[in-house]
Chain A
């Protein structure tokens, strides 16, 4: 927990420094941290879901969190479903144009996680209406 707490505090200071362009020592007295948030374990998994990112727990989760959520939100991963070729093409595109680094051995780990946890779902040409919340219309 200590490491996490330090990370949180460092984060806060980096952000504050960015906002105010002032030396960090001056900021400490002004800082108020919301109750509860700091106790959140960044690695916590509840009901099979990684709490901090919303990613499904499974082999490769750590590699995905570390490599895929630095620049963009995990929501960009969780709302998409693709096959191996498409996930590979997406990573290649990020490497060629968006500044993603060489993933080395993690590449396969990450792609295996994605195609296992976020494979495509067959929808056909038009799915039936679903999740309808019925209500009385007066």
Chain B
């Protein structure tokens, strides 16, 4: 059938319920272009991502990196994972964008234009590690439902914005403030405007840290659309879901914020450890705060074949939530013996730290290189899956790459 023919036959009567479509980018859409429902939009082009990124979900969009893509000291957009809970907002206008402060603990509600925020408060730039709470979920057994992240839901980009604490001081909040919750402009998957896809936040003490930003730039440019343009709350070291995208409202609460995905099994783990598969009552679940110590070997890519006598140079990053990384060790013998890597200091608090080592592999054969980081409190990464939890969060088991000497 001729395309134009069936197009002309179409009418709009009684069909409003047929399609719940993907995201809509009015400003990015060439005039006259029809995104067919059965034709996948090209997410790599749309979000300017590298072709080696892995799409886990297309409604909502979720995409992760592979370990070797994350070798840069500062993660560029093309290798940054996307974790969306809802649909990317349809209308985003920087010129009219505002941020509203409200809630029972605000002295009186206040609104700033984005231009005001930029003009009125001092700008700060930090490299901040953002890791999805569910990074590594694919290893859970019994399995945990949700996007099956492997290792690539982590990034450390350079964020520029104003300190939330500076703005909060200007807003004024009551002494009973315990939590700061966010609301963004993303749409619930059902397109029900009364439902929020996600509305999380952080306790006041975390909100008041120097590195907690109301960011309007990432890596020196406007924040990319998928990462929260034009304004994002950025909270380094905590589950990336606390870093609310497309931010338009912050609510100052006199109780723990009770927005969408603050309760039940969302971003919460059993307060006390449980056996794999055990049922856990809501009352026994605790909100995830600082992420655990973890590391990733980003060079070389797994699967390297080298010649006998050739040295193997490895590189990677390590991070430890609110803490710093004290050291990173590597093992070439499945954890029997460990040798230290050299580890650089963080460029600023909450940025990941880079490690490297030059390894001599003794003879021909199959090897796995394992990396194990240790934080400043002496916690080390486990060799196997750590404590099971219903939604598969916080898997910080050591990363492994395969190497063959021939």
Contact = CB atoms under 8 A, between A and B. Distances in A.
Interface stretch (B33-41, B73-81, B120-128): B33-41
Interface string B112-146: 00000000000000000000000000011111011
A11 B37 contact: yes
B282 to A, nearest CB: 12
B58 A75 contact: yes
Nearest to B398: A126
Nearest to B6: A5
A81 to B, nearest CB: 5
A42 to B, nearest CB: 6
A14 B16 CA distance: 7
A24 to B, nearest CB: 5
Contact of B33 (A32, A40, A75, A132): A32
Contact of B9 (A9, A38, A79, A137): A9
A129 interface: yes
Interface in B369-404: 383-385, 397, 400-402, 404
B36 A8 contact: yes
Contacts of A28: 7-8, 10
B304 interface: yes
Contacts of B383: 126
A31 B34 contact: yes
B403 to A, nearest CB: 8
Contacts of A20: 26
A49 interface: no
A9 B385 contact: no
Nearest to A81: B143
B274 interface: no
B141 A134 contact: no
Given A37-B36, A76-B57, A132-B402, A9 B6 contact: yes
B56 A75 contact: yes
A18 to B, nearest CB: 6
Contacts of B12: 10, 13-14, 17, 24
Contacts of B306: 136-137
B45 interface: no
Given A6-B6, A9-B9, A32 B34 contact: yes
B57 A134 contact: no
- B-side interface mostly: loop
B60 A72 contact: yes
A14 B32 contact: no
B189 A72 contact: yes
A73 interface: yes
Interface stretch (A55-63, A103-111, A116-124): A116-124
Contacts of A45: none
A132 B303 contact: yes
B103 interface: no
Contacts of A73: 57-60
Contacts, number: 179
A29 B315 CA distance: 56
B19 interface: yes
B254 interface: no
B34 A127 contact: no
A1 B60 CA distance: 29
Given A98-B190, A136-B305, A31 B7 contact: yes
A52 to B, nearest CB: 6
A82 B143 contact: yes
Contacts of A81: 143
Contact of B6 (A8, A133, A134): A8
Contact of A12 (B34, B60, B397): B34
Contacts of A34: 34, 36, 39
Contacts of B24: 15, 18-19
B368 interface: yes
Listed residue (B15, B37, B148) with the most chain A CB atoms within 10 angstroms of its CB: B37
A28 B146 CA distance: 40
Contacts of A46: none
Contacts of B59: 71-73, 75
24 contacts: A2-B6, A6-B6, A9-B6, A13-B12, A14-B18, A18-B21, A20-B26, A24-B10, A34-B36, A34-B39, A38-B3, A38-B6, A72-B59, A72-B60, A73-B58, A98-B189, A120-B142, A122-B141, A125-B384, A125-B385, A126-B383, A129-B402, A134-B305, A135-B303
Interface of A: 1-2, 5-20, 24, 28, 30-35, 37-38, 40, 42, 52, 70-73, 75-76, 79-83, 86, 90, 93, 98-99, 120-127, 129, 132-137
Given A34-B39, A75-B55, A90-B145, 13 more contacts: A9-B9, A28-B8, A30-B31, A33-B3, A33-B34, A73-B60, A79-B56, A86-B142, A98-B189, A99-B188, A123-B140, A129-B402, A134-B303
